[in-house]
């Protein structure tokens, strides 16, 4: 990749695929906030968005169509499209010489593609062959406290129940919660369109399609991705995912067992020291992580740390992260930062 070997004093050429979606819009915002060295930005989206524009650093950037030759001269391409589109677009992007940072599920479990959370496994990014994958948003928020806990006591089993915001389903999820809430307030009928059931004032214990064993694809992602990132192929993981009527931030209730007992005091210390993780754990003051407080921040927040009453080498805790930022766009931009020359 040109940007690895060449100086970036004048910036590099960056493409954002899926620039009009929630994750793509947040990517543009994060690139600007983190002062990523963008010399030229190219924005891509679906055919129906061609002719529209997105804003970056005060400039209107026209939306282009994804086609052969459109990525010539691009150094890094952030792909915020779905898995099917990512698989379709990747050969075109790679042929033009760009390195892809992909946010979909398309390549995460490919053994040749590194699955990267920069605070946890930055070295994996150096082993890329043109594609790097960003984990599922729930996985990122969950693994942030699990890594320091593993380093302290070696994980043996994880039970994780996620409470996932509607923005995880994109702009349609956001619109549906807003519309249903307004309809309910007016006394009008609430009709689901995007989700299988009403989401306003409700919980849906299904994020995507059920598999024959009763688990959803979202739950299986958590199992597979935690094992790959932590390099623990035999780690026992018991997942449950729930869609909740919250606009932004995923919250996860975690029970983690370790080989060596890790006390609450020790866990608090290792969490507090870990980059990208903040400790909010003052129950007497009713201070603990909540989506409304964490939204818009790049760090993940952990609290409600306590010993498991049923197991002498297990802890319970609660972690919250903005899944549009650290769970997607921020993590992707951090991956791209690892590719820049030092």
∠ Cα 147 149 154 (to 5°): 95
Please give the span between the terminal C-alpha atoms of the chain, in angstroms, as a whole number. Answer: 14
DSSP 123-152: GGGGG-SSEEEPPPHHHHHHHHHHHHHHHH
| Pairing mode of beta strands 12-17, 76-79 | parallel
Nearest CA-CA partner of 147 in 116, 110, 102: 116
The rounded distance, in Å, linking the Cα atoms of 125 and 264 is 33
Where would I find the beta strands (DSSP E) of 191-297?
Answer: 236-243, 250-258, 277-279
The rounded distance, in Å, linking the Cα atoms of 86 and 102 is 7
Chain Cα centroid distance, residue 271: 20
Nearest CA-CA partner of 146 in 331, 293, 314: 314
Residue with tokens 């899926």: 18
250 tagged catalytic: yes
Catalytic residue among 137, 150, 249, 300: 137
Look at residue 324 and give its three-state secondary structure: coil
194 tagged catalytic: no
3-state helix, strand, coil in the chain (%, to 5): 35, 25, 40
Look at residue 64 and give its three-state secondary structure: strand
The catalytic site residues sit at: 137, 250
């Amino acid at each position: 990749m040109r940007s690895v070997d060449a100086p970036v004093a004048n910036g590099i050429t960056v493409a954002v695929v899926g620039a009009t979606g929630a994750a793509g819009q947040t990517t543009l915002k994060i690139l600007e906030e983190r002062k990523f060295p963008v010399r030229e930005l190219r924005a891509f989206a679906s055919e129906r968005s061609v002719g529209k524009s997105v804003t970056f650093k005060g400039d209107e950037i026209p939306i282009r169509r994804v086609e052969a030759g459109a990525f010539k001269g691009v150094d890094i391409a952030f792909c915020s499209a779905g898995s099917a589109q990512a698989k379709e677009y990747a050969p075109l992007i790679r042929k033009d010489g760009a390195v892809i940072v992909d946010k979909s599920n398309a390549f995460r479990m490919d053994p040749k593609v590194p699955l990267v959370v920069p605070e946890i496994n930055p070295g994996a990014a150096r082993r890329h062959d043109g594609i790097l994958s960003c984990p599922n948003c729930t996985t990122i928020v969950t693994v942030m406290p699990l890594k320091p806990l593993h380093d302290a006591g070696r994980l043996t089993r994880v039970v994780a129940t996620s409470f996932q915001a509607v923005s995880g389903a994109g702009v349609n999820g956001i619109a549906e919660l807003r519309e249903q809430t307004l309809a309910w307030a007016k006394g009008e009928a609430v009709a689901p369109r995007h989700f299988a059931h009403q989401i306003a004032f409700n919980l849906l214990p299904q994020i995507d399609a059920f598999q024959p064993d009763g688990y959803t694809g979202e739950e299986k992602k958590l199992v597979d991705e935690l094992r790959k990132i932590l390099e623990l192929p035999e780690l026992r993981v018991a997942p449950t995912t729930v869609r909740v009527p919250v606009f932004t931030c995923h919250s996860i209730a975690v029970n983690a067992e370790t080989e060596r007992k890790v006390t609450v005091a020790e866990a608090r210390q290792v969490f507090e020291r870990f980059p990208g993780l903040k400790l909010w754990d003052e129950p007497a003051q009713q201070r603990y992580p909540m989506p409304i407080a964490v939204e818009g921040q790049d760090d993940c927040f952990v609290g409600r740390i306590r010993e498991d009453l049923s197991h002498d080498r297990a802890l319970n805790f609660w972690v919250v992260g903005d899944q549009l930022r650290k769970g997607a766009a921020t993590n992707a931009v951090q991956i791209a930062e690892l590719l820049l020359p030092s």
